[in-house]
Structure 1
């Protein structure tokens, strides 16, 4: 049986490892006790510690290693987001983050839904069309929709979206929703064995409250199931949880986000 908590974290880590490999501005490093990414871009989405396990070290060595990691972000002036998880709390980690000026920045919910024999709701509203991105033209539309809420300068947006690239292996898929032929929403999925993660679910402000987000989720879940996935996972903000719960997702863990200050 798949451990849902481990599946949520592993899919997230592998997803960002793949995205990092697409970007010339981002590096990803991983060993048995740490998984993290660093970027030359001033974006917290790409400057993160996803996993750190202090249990393999005595307290002093764990603090020293964490300090080395923190200093690597500080030396570049990058704001770092460090993840901790409700089921693997470690006082050494919490104390070291506090000592280095990290502040609690909120939470996300690690959620999962079993896809075995699940009836998927694919109800689409009038004028709504959802496609899997396959052409360069569609991919450019996907990027424009996804970054619209970030209000990034054009050059930074261009560098940011280089991390998103069509996957010849088919493990990563991009979805683009059209409302009356206007690009309106996005989603991305990434497959790791029987587990598929859902990411980048976004709807442009002018198209919200029309059921577009829910429709994209339904389409993605249908495709995951058809491809043989038995578990769908995601990380949700409080705003997105309502949509996901309607599709059967349940919270399995809490992701705590600690943000560096004055780095």
Structure 2
């Protein structure tokens, strides 16, 4: 078994890869992989799953410059001896996340305050993609959901028939990646994000999955720590500086 950091990154990049292959364009040039979808702000990523060195950084920069769509490079610090600070005259850090994991060995008690529905119909696709930007501030296109919903589980959550939020559930090998857990603004600070996580974690336990992984924003990290997740590594997301 790979270590949990590698499994976390493998799940995340497998999600991007699947979307690129089914909807847009996935490519691998040398060690650089990328997934691009037109008319969507996600995934549009370029990444390297090995230790970063000057040669790889030059290749990556060249591909980012050549891309017609702005790409984000997620740099995860799971290697002990590599380039740690990207050239400030070339790259700008857009955000930072924390890679987190949880061993799934005990089910969570639910409040039974939420109902949920996996997206399958056209109207559900429209609803999910309309509220996701309210949760996260960027767009995942209807085309992505329409073409991937049979292989990637997108969920809508409700409290007393009122829409609460979204989530993406994506198992690979020994782990399930939980992504896109978002609560619409008017439903925040009511404990719904934690309840959504418990529902999805219990689902994974029922499917005999060993670990859950995610990438937390600074805002969400406290919720995941309360559920028992550990902080494993840091992801700094970079774009090219405007010339």
Aligned pairs (5 A) from 1:124-139: 124-125=112-113, 128-139=114-125
**Is the counterpart of residue 83 in structure 1 residue 63 in structure 2?**
no
Name the structure 2 match of 1:68: 62
* Whole-angstrom CA distance in 1 between matches of 2:160 and 2:217: 28
Unmatched tracts of structure 1, length 5 or more? none
Task: Report the counterpart of residue 237 of structure 1 in structure 2.
Answer: 217
CA contact (8 A) 1:21 1:163 kept: no
Are the equivalent residues in 2 in contact too, given 1:37–1:49 (CA < 8 A)? yes
**Alpha-carbon deviations, 1:146-196, whole Å to 9, x = none?**
1334667xxxx6x8231124543xx52122111221222110111111211
Provide the C-alpha distance between the structure 2 equivalents of 1:238 and 1:247, rounded to a whole number of angstroms. 16
Note if 1:50 corresponds to 2:50.
no
Question: Which has the larger Rg?
Answer: 1
Measured after TM superposition, the shift of residue 218 of structure 1 is: 0.8
What is the aligned counterpart of 2:107 among 119, 122, 141?
119
Alpha-carbon distance change, 210 to 62 in structure 1, aligned in 2, over 3 angstroms: closer
Deviation at 1:47, TM superposition (A): 2.4
For normalisation by structure 1, the TM-score amounts to: 0.80
SS at 2:141's partner residue?
helix
Unaligned runs of 5+ in 2: none
CA RMSD of aligned residues (A): 2.6
Q: Does 1:30 align with 2:28?
A: yes
Contact kept? 1:194, 1:228, Cα under 8 Å: no
Give the 4+ runs in structure 1 shifted more than 6 A: none
Q: Is the 1:22–1:162 Cα contact (8 Å) retained in structure 2? A: no
Q: 1:106 to 1:147 in 2, by over 3 A?
A: closer
Which structure carries more helix by proportion?
1
Deviations, residues 37-71 of structure 1 (Å, cap 9, x unaligned) = 2343373x33222325466x8x5x43542343122
Task: Select between 219-228 and 46-55 the one with higher mean Cα deviation.
Answer: 46-55
When normalised by structure 2's length, the TM-score is 0.86
1:199 maps onto 2:189 in alignment: no
Pairing 1:228–2:214 present = no
Residue of 38, 50, 59 corresponding to 1:40:
38
Name the CA distance, whole Å, in 2 between partners of 1:94 and 1:22: 34
CA distance in 1, matches of 2:96, 2:137: 23
CA–CA separation in structure 2 for the residues paired with 1:240 and 1:221? 16
Alpha-carbon spacing, 1:42–1:230, altered in 2? closer, same or farther (3 Å): closer
| Equivalent position of 1:17 in the other structure | 17
Aligned residue pairs, count: 241
**Judging changes above 3 Å, is the alpha-carbon distance between structure 1 residues 6 and 54 closer, same or farther for their aligned structure 2 residues?**
closer
